[in-house]
Amino acid sequence: MIIIQLKGGLGNQMFQYALYRQLKSMGKDVKIDDETGFIDDKLRIPVISRFGVEYDKATKEEITLLTDSKLDIFSRIRRKLTGRKSHRIDENSGVFDPEILNLEDAYLVGYWQSDKYFPDDAVIEALRNDFQKRPQEVMNDSVSWSTLQQIECCESVSLHVRRTDYIDEEHIKIHNICTQKYYKSAVDYVRGKVPGAVFFVFTDDKKWCKKHLKGPNFIVVELSEADNTDMAEMLLMSKCKHHILANSSFSWWSAWLNDSPEKIVVVPEKWINNRKMDDIYTARMTKVAI
């Protein structure tokens, strides 16, 4: 059996679910643990179910068995004498590991942020069906609908700025912050390819964006707060014709869901500070200095 630990925010959970779908398609006995990864993460909850997806849930007994973590006295003595016989595998980098797709018994802990973990065409089609919701399913305010109309009627570019949870003391050493210089270079690149581009700014720091990303062709999107606002924003971003990404799995998926062959996708050339992330980049992306 293979168990995938669900953790992180919506975009990260989408990557973990994508690996789950790939392994399922290969005939593996695979389940998801949607509890353990959130015990020490008070900011996150399992939200992948908002898409209406279903998955086989691992039981506590199955997790205990794969991780060799029984607490009875005999198991403790055995582990002290012979060592833990755990099948837990922790992802150490963002570089694709093909062996993950060949496993039979494993408890997988990681983000698996690469489309190489779900290469099959049938899986890709299934994921698009899972994640591409109709507007009426996720948009429940007039601002969302008017923004969608604007996006569909112009050379729209989603521009994602993520700041608030990247600049706190805990995360600042891990995450790069996409600078004003990066966004200016990305905007200039897109304008060189797409005259008349209109930039729809999606962000958790509207004050910063209104100060640094302003002009007649910049629209800072402000949706009403609701439980599914993140899904509405992802839908709107995916409907844009082109994309400027933050170093965020959320904006990665927004661009991935747009399957237009004409799309331009601009990304920061360095994704994160503490690990290699070579395989988060796809062939469709253009790297720009951060």
- Could you report the per-residue pLDDT of 104-144, keeping only the tens digit for each? 999 999 999 999 999 999 999 999 999 998 899 888 888 99
Using pLDDT thresholds of 50, 70 and 90, give the confidence band for residue 147: very high
pLDDT, residue 69, reads 75
Q: Provide the whole-model pTM.
A: 0.92
* Lookup: tokens for 223: 């949706």
Computed from CA positions of residues 147, 152, 154, 159, in that sequence, does the dihedral angle turn out positive or negative? positive
In the chain, beta strands by DSSP E:
2-5, 30-33, 88-90, 106-109, 156-161, 198-203, 218-220, 242-244, 265-268, 285-288
Cα of 271 vs its chain's centroid, Å: 13
* Lookup: tokens for 130: 């899972």
Please give the DSSP secondary-structure letter assigned to residue 226. -
Which residue bears the tokens 């086989």?
Answer: 56
Measured CA to CA in angstroms, residue 283 lies from 116, 184, 202 at distances of: 11, 23, 24
- Which residue(s) pair with 266 in the sheet? 244, 286
Distance CA 113, CA 271 (A): 11
- Checking if the pLDDT of 166 tops 70, the result is no
